[in-house]
Structure 1
Amino acid sequence: MRLPLSLFLAIQAALALAPAKRYYDSHDYYVLEHDPHAGASLAECAKTLGVEVIEQAGELVNHWLVRIPKGLRKRDSDPILRSLEDLRRTTDFAQISHRSEEVLHRRRVASSVRNVFPQTLRQRVKRAPPPISPPKDAETSSAVAQRLGIHDPEFQRQWHIVNDDFPEHMMNVTPVWDMGITGKGVITALVDDGLDYTSDDLAANFYAYGSYDYNDHTELPTPVLFDDHHVAGIRILSGPISDIDEAAALNYDYQNTSIYSCSWGPPDDGRSMEGPGYLIKKAIVNGVQQGRGGKGSVFVFASGNGGRSGDQCNFDGYTNSIFSVTVAAIDYKGFHPEYSEACAANMIVAYTSGSGNHITTTDRGKNKCSHSHGGTSAAAPNAAGVFALALQARPDLSWRDIQHLCVRTALQVNPDDPDWEPTAAGRWYSYKYGYGGLNGYEFIKAAQDWQPVKPQAWIDLPVVQLNNGTMDSFENASGGEPIPPDGIESKLTVTQEMLDQHNFEKLEHITVKVWITHTRRGDVEVELISPNGIRSVLAARRNSDNAKSGFPGWTFMTVKHWDEDPVGDWTIRVSDQRKEEESGTFLGWTMSVWGSVIDAGKDIRLYQVPLVEDVLPPDPSPNDEPADTDPIIISTSTKTIPRPTEHLPGDHGDAEGEKHKPAFSTVTPATTPASEPTGAVEDVAEPSSTNAIPTITATPDEGWFSDLSKLVENQMWFFVAIGAVALFGISVGVFFWRRAVLRKRRANYSSLTGGDDMALSSLDRGGSGSRAPRQTKELYDAFGEVSDDEDADEETALRPHVISPGLETGLHSGFLDDDDSPTAGAGPKPTRYRDEPESPVGEAKERSDTPGSGTGSGSSWEHASEPR
């Protein structure tokens, strides 16, 4: 069946226009992934499922946004998912002899609908950046303004451009301006909470065609809320948004837009571990593969502001993506602000608030400025500005060229900081600073002579299952090796034959996927040690993370091994805090190496996002197997993403930074090749086997007291135990004393003069109806022992009681209230976000079951419609 002309024209018209406005209050939306080669047209699939086709889902080919009207009543199950399941079931069980046209039609539709993704709303949150070397003869801000004809009255407050106090710490872009490079013609989209394009400072450079409001679905991203302060070409943070709208935002006008600056992500609370869903991952991969005519969109992400909460950017699936340039923060003195998150995914740092200074920038209004901006939210746009300068000078640079230039031109700051460690490639790396401070002049100078890198190559190494460890899609685990007190190690081997077979030349990123169960996720520490002895801390202890969900197929990333020779044994080490009351199991792991090809003339593979990534053993990957044509239904759960500055300390601009503390001081150090990087990679003997061999370094303890020395090491535990025993003994004594006293009082209880049938209203305050002598019947003794007869009858309390006809019974006003009333769960309304955050109150309170304690891309975001 061919696509009807009217539907075809409607679809083409939709593709040429801005995205259609969403009506989530009256319709339910889905994304339908269609296989046009499986026999059924899009129109046939839509008609069979009973959905209305709205438009293509962003820039994702063969993905379509569809909808149905909401029902009047809440459904027990999703009607579209149920229809697809019924369709698949009937075609699976249809006998071969039943080859009617209807059965064949249903089979074609079932084969043509690859996936269906229900769309629900969630709230993204904003984040809030850094040291650089100046020219030899540093000019003052006044001199620069006079020479360049800058009449901005706020220019002298923009220290990140010209730092009069510490001239070695600024973005160092004025020499680039002297070269006539200003970023002209390069479009940068700030994916944020709105853009006041009427601002005198922004109006002349506003790019309306590449701007869109995905919150209100209007063409211009006008800030509506009072707190929509920051410049943004694509508005997504001012309200709930679905996965497909976020995916579309990251691909919006991606042939003309070069850079997407993103200062938002999961909560920076030290207990969240979350990342993008399947559709968003596909959009990011689509951007780097197809954006800018194939040169790739440049995604810039702020590392996060949860440093004081012990948060780490490797627990954020946006910042630890190989497709992102992750930017951390340094302040105007060149110090590390304690709010800036450290991790092995940090690539560079850029300047932002701290040590007494903030970032001065435009604000909402025609002629207004903000003097209190900061956090890593300000670092990422500063880096994006440098990349825009580079793309004017060299429009042919790819997204990977930008990352290579970051690694090669970043300048080491605070060289005495113990967090710096040598790499096998001869560079220095820090979990706090990445490869160093982004320097505009050095970056553009190197870009002008840069030879573009060859296409991307990657190798997925075999999956290691320890003791037959498995985990299904519901996170049910079995097998695995318990984590002993001294930790557990496992190895994977990379051989030269592997590299040659996959046309792999030079190493860039490494991703490590782990399956670990643990009763307290924050206790787990994960390290990766290269064949050359270079150690990457992938996860360090997080004191606030009480989640019991562990690491169900979570992916870490490290850039610390850039340009290192990958041949040899790679060792992963998993450990915890050796608490007797907590335990965990290492189920399995795998690793992927990413880099450049040897021969660009050979067929180049394009990476595809796997549909299911968290099961062990993993399902066949689309990168090495034919795509599975059997439809898989995935529901994207509702989530609320907090604004990035929600966890930014109120004193982020005033607090003094530091330059003397390592990021992860509690992790067991590994051997390093030398005290100084030599710039050469030592030869490593080729391993004799390519098999992945897990190695356990210690056996787990048997019982709780296998090491009694811990009682001496932890005296607090000992005294708490003694106190608990003493308290229990006192409680038992009080109980028996009270029961004895009450027994003695039983003789003084008043009795009823008229038996059990006497009306309660006739009793006086003394407890009896008259002064008559006592009878033999007593009132119920709540503290007395139950008689033998009552003890033998366990249903005594369940028997109905007969109320005398003359007895008046009164019920409290709420007796018949339903426990599930609409107001039962109402909580306080969420507080409004402010870019100048107030001092947090009660942030240190730990919660084990919070929206932030979940895992993955969809299990733990708060529902956008629920009170917070």
Structure 2
Amino acid sequence: MNNKLNIVTAGLLLALGQASAQTFDNSVQEYDPTKHVWEYTYKLADGDPLVVHQWHLQNTGQSAGAITPGVAGIDLNLDFTHRRGILGQGINIAVIDDGLATYHPDLAPNVVQGNTPNPNPYIYQYESRGRLSIDDHGTKVAGIAAAAAYNGQGGRGVAPNATLTGVNYIGKESNINSRTLAIRSVMDMDGAVQPMNKLTDARVINQSIGYSFSDASIYGDYRAFFDDIDAVTKRAVTESHGGRGAMAVKSAGNSHYIGGRWLDRDNGLLTLIYPNGYALPAYDASIADPTNANFWNLTVSALNAKGNLAAYSTGGSAVLLTAPAGEWGRYSPATVTTALPKWCTDATETQCEEPMYAFNMNGTSAAAPALSGAVALIMSANHQLSWRDVRHLMITTATKVDADAKPRMIGDYEAIPSWQVNGAGHAFHYDYGFGLVNVDAAVEKALQTGPILGDLQIKSYDVPVKADAFIYDGDFTGTESVHTQTDDLTVEAVRVHLSLDHERLGDLSVELISPSNTRSVILTAGTDIEGNKFNDNVILSNHFYGESAKGDWKLRIIDTNAKDSWSERVYDLGTGKFVEGSKAVIPQRGDKVQPNNTKPGQLTGWSITFYGH
């Protein structure tokens, strides 16, 4: 009965939302016939008092309670989409997390739980890994994606008329013990209704969760575990909703550095510590978390309100897009969203707080639901589009951010290039993927098109490796292995399985170079990875989207000696950028010293998989 009432309530809100969506202030800009519709800026409709602080929806340069403001225009660009009354209607977003507060007044109207078990979060404070915790993460995530709009309280979600399903997978009172079971649950894979088409089956699966492994052997040792997640995600993404599929959105991770300390707390200057001598990222999205290297996941990095990569955000060639998330909220804006309506420090509920809303949500955990909401808006604009069509629209309309980003160097070697235009004309960056999702542009194109991409093709090849494929210390020419692709297809992504022996894996830079001469750094040197071999480890690159697969694909491995020392670099939270000239080399911590390899490494095997059409 409650589910039916919630569906009816959501329907009523849809009607109210569409009415409110027409009350925008149109006087901001005069009509310019040379502009596209998505290049205009409209004031967001009134009706939610905190929306003025939600810079991820519309960044006017507000501070959202922080000492320094954001930069106008660094947002999802969704104002015209909301004005049209496209608010995510008909799209269900599943939040796989620590449960969500279904009783929150800004979430309750949109909850359609169906048969998925979702106990409300554990509201009592408890100790976890040495910290006092409450299970409010999923509630914050859900509010970013789909908090209700025009109800006179709080803020609003990116897709405020989408529906929500919650799963308590990581909370104290979790009742689902694996990600595969969580995905199966929200897609009703084990139920009587097939194919997966019910209202409560997710069209968007939000995963603000993940791993940060430093042990290189994890994937090889637990390959069946990761392959099971891969297979279940594939089924959910490809077989649901009459073949149109679902979008699985995954946070890239928050492991850009391995430690930090305040240089100047009063002025927001934070010294970040890196496990290499060049202030290169501590972790790579694919290697740290093999589920990021899962083609069926859309991996997203985090952007701050200034338009730069958030200080904590993991990057890598597996990142497809970036989305707003912010910093920690004191010196630079964080994300404003829903919080637990009530949480207590004791089981008797005598010492409780009722925060309702939070101004300090950040992390790639916040970027994922921002993107999930964006996906819901595009899908609701045109329900016939497949999950791959929606990806295509977001890739081809994304906004280049941090456009003057400089390459990060090891001497004369570009360890992480600046923005690169691939052979299909799409700009890509290791940190940002194809850029910041542009909702208005993607929705405009969605309204004017039918299905876009042809049938998905997957082609895999084992590549013969020479017996003398040695990786020599400090040799920047690297060792190469070539796969000649004779069958053609238009690439959507490329995945490499890599096996090699090397005594200090963190020295290695791994590149994949396409027939169009696009150089994708699929693993940057200097990561905090440990062990002495890759055992079929997976790495995904989205860099080649739209290119032809036909021709020679070169795998190049370079031993850079990046781990002979550590480094630190000063990050200015007020500007959202690193302080120029602040990089300094420091000794490795005693218990983390990794001696240089005493003999050359060796490439022992690799395979390549093309996903495309």
Category of TM-score, reference length = shorter chain? 0.5 to 0.7
What's the counterpart of residue 317 of structure 1?
290
Conserved 8 A contact 1:302-1:377: yes
Q: Per-residue deviation at 1:488? A: 0.9
What's the counterpart of residue 154 of structure 1?
50
Tell me the SS of whatever aligns to 2:490: strand
What's the counterpart of residue 658 of structure 1?
577
What's the counterpart of residue 232 of structure 2?
283
Q: For residues 654 and 378 of structure 1, what CA distance do their matches in structure 2 show?
A: 18
Which residue identity is paired with 1:252?
S
Cα–Cα, structure 1 residues 843 and 653, in superposed 2: closer, same or farther, change >3 Å?
farther
Tell me the SS of whatever aligns to 1:176: helix
What's the counterpart of residue 457 of structure 1?
457
The count of aligned residue pairs is: 440
Cα–Cα, structure 1 residues 336 and 208, in superposed 2: closer, same or farther, change >3 Å?
same
What's the counterpart of residue 592 of structure 2?
846
Q: Per-residue deviation at 1:243? A: 9.6
Q: Per-residue deviation at 1:379? A: 0.5
Conserved 8 A contact 1:347-1:406: no
Residues 201-256 of structure 1: per-residue CA shift (max 9 Å, x gap):
1111111215424xxxxxx3434453211325111111598997321211224222
Q: For residues 314 and 508 of structure 2, what CA distance do their matches in structure 1 show?
A: 18
Conserved 8 A contact 2:571-2:578: no
Equivalent in 262, 275, 300 of residue 327 of structure 1:
300
Q: For residues 297 and 449 of structure 2, what CA distance do their matches in structure 1 show?
A: 20
Equivalent in 343, 354, 362 of residue 374 of structure 1:
362
What's the counterpart of residue 257 of structure 1?
202
Q: Per-residue deviation at 1:483? A: 4.0
Residues 770-802 of structure 1: per-residue CA shift (max 9 Å, x gap):
xxxxxxxxxxxxxxxxxxxxxxxxxxxxxxxxx
Q: Superposed, which structure 2 residues align to 1:99-178 within 5 Å?
A: 136-139=39-42, 144=44, 148-150=45-47, 152-165=48-61, 166-178=71-83
Residues 635-657 of structure 1: per-residue CA shift (max 9 Å, x gap):
xxxxxxxxxxxxxxxx9994642
Tell me the SS of whatever aligns to 1:228: coil
Cα–Cα, structure 1 residues 652 and 389, in superposed 2: closer, same or farther, change >3 Å?
farther
Conserved 8 A contact 2:306-2:575: no
Conserved 8 A contact 1:417-1:659: no
What's the counterpart of residue 555 of structure 1?
538
- Comparing 192-201 and 337-346, the one that deviates more: 337-346
Cα–Cα, structure 1 residues 493 and 263, in superposed 2: closer, same or farther, change >3 Å?
same
Conserved 8 A contact 1:327-1:346: yes
1:423 aligns with 2:422: yes
Equivalent in 292, 309, 313 of residue 336 of structure 1:
309
Q: For residues 450 and 591 of structure 2, what CA distance do their matches in structure 1 show?
A: 51
Which residue identity is paired with 1:416?
D
What's the counterpart of residue 513 of structure 2?
529
Q: Superposed, which structure 2 residues align to 1:655-694 within 5 Å?
A: 656-658=575-577
Residues 29-68 of structure 1: per-residue CA shift (max 9 Å, x gap):
xxxxxxxxxxxxxxxxxxxxxxxxxxxxxxxxxxxxxxxx
Q: For residues 534 and 313 of structure 1, what CA distance do their matches in structure 2 show?
A: 20
Conserved 8 A contact 2:334-2:360: yes
Tell me the SS of whatever aligns to 2:240: helix
Q: For residues 250 and 527 of structure 1, what CA distance do their matches in structure 2 show?
A: 33
What's the counterpart of residue 493 of structure 2?
509
Which residue identity is paired with 1:394?
N
Q: Superposed, which structure 2 residues align to 1:463-482 within 5 Å?
A: 463-467=463-467, 481=470
Conserved 8 A contact 1:492-1:570: yes
Conserved 8 A contact 1:346-1:431: yes
What's the counterpart of residue 724 of structure 1?
none
Equivalent in 479, 497, 514 of residue 488 of structure 1:
479
Tell me the SS of whatever aligns to 1:251: helix
Conserved 8 A contact 1:414-1:659: no
Q: Per-residue deviation at 1:388? A: 0.8
Q: For residues 847 and 242 of structure 1, what CA distance do their matches in structure 2 show?
A: 41
Higher Rg of the two aligned structures: 1
Tell me the SS of whatever aligns to 1:461: strand
Cα–Cα, structure 1 residues 460 and 278, in superposed 2: closer, same or farther, change >3 Å?
closer
Tell me the SS of whatever aligns to 2:286: helix
Q: For residues 238 and 847 of structure 1, what CA distance do their matches in structure 2 show?
A: 35
What's the counterpart of residue 446 of structure 2?
447
Q: Per-residue deviation at 1:167? A: 2.9
What's the counterpart of residue 245 of structure 1?
178
Tell me the SS of whatever aligns to 1:570: strand
Tell me the SS of whatever aligns to 1:249: helix
Conserved 8 A contact 2:179-2:229: yes
Conserved 8 A contact 1:359-1:371: yes
Tell me the SS of whatever aligns to 1:277: helix
What's the counterpart of residue 222 of structure 1?
121
Q: Superposed, which structure 2 residues align to 1:439-838 within 5 Å?
A: 439-452=438-451, 453-467=453-467, 481=470, 483=472, 485-486=474-475, 487-495=478-486, 498-499=487-488, 505-545=489-529, 547-578=530-561, 654=573, 656-658=575-577
Q: For residues 458 and 548 of structure 1, what CA distance do their matches in structure 2 show?
A: 31
Conserved 8 A contact 1:330-1:350: yes
Conserved 8 A contact 2:251-2:301: yes
Identity of aligned residues (%): 25
Q: For residues 123 and 459 of structure 2, what CA distance do their matches in structure 1 show?
A: 47
What's the counterpart of residue 252 of structure 2?
303
Cα–Cα, structure 1 residues 344 and 209, in superposed 2: closer, same or farther, change >3 Å?
same
Conserved 8 A contact 1:134-1:167: no
Cα–Cα, structure 1 residues 845 and 441, in superposed 2: closer, same or farther, change >3 Å?
farther
Q: For residues 438 and 429 of structure 2, what CA distance do their matches in structure 1 show?
A: 17
Tell me the SS of whatever aligns to 2:88: coil
Q: Per-residue deviation at 1:578? A: 4.8
Q: For residues 351 and 653 of structure 1, what CA distance do their matches in structure 2 show?
A: 18
What's the counterpart of residue 361 of structure 1?
337
Q: For residues 52 and 185 of structure 2, what CA distance do their matches in structure 1 show?
A: 35
Q: Per-residue deviation at 1:303? A: 1.1
After TM superposition, the score normalised by the length of structure 1 is 0.47
Q: For residues 235 and 291 of structure 2, what CA distance do their matches in structure 1 show?
A: 15
Residues 697-728 of structure 1: per-residue CA shift (max 9 Å, x gap):
xxxxxxxxxxxxxxxxx9x99xxxxxxxxxxx
Q: Per-residue deviation at 1:341? A: 1.4
Q: Per-residue deviation at 1:293? A: 2.7
Q: For residues 571 and 268 of structure 1, what CA distance do their matches in structure 2 show?
A: 27
Which residue identity is paired with 1:235?
N
Q: For residues 277 and 250 of structure 1, what CA distance do their matches in structure 2 show?
A: 14
Q: For residues 50 and 561 of structure 2, what CA distance do their matches in structure 1 show?
A: 54
Q: For residues 846 and 517 of structure 1, what CA distance do their matches in structure 2 show?
A: 20
Q: For residues 559 and 176 of structure 2, what CA distance do their matches in structure 1 show?
A: 35
Conserved 8 A contact 1:271-1:522: no
What's the counterpart of residue 234 of structure 1?
167
Conserved 8 A contact 1:416-1:660: no
Residues 3-35 of structure 1: per-residue CA shift (max 9 Å, x gap):
xxxxxxxxxxxxxxxxxxxxxxxxxxxxxxxxx
Cα–Cα, structure 1 residues 181 and 565, in superposed 2: closer, same or farther, change >3 Å?
same
Task: Output the aligned Cα RMSD.
Answer: 3.4
Conserved 8 A contact 1:199-1:364: yes
Cα–Cα, structure 1 residues 174 and 241, in superposed 2: closer, same or farther, change >3 Å?
same
Residues 325-379 of structure 1: per-residue CA shift (max 9 Å, x gap):
1111111121222311121111111111136111011011166111110011101
Q: Per-residue deviation at 1:844? A: 10
Q: For residues 573 and 402 of structure 2, what CA distance do their matches in structure 1 show?
A: 20
What's the counterpart of residue 669 of structure 1?
none
Conserved 8 A contact 1:270-1:542: no
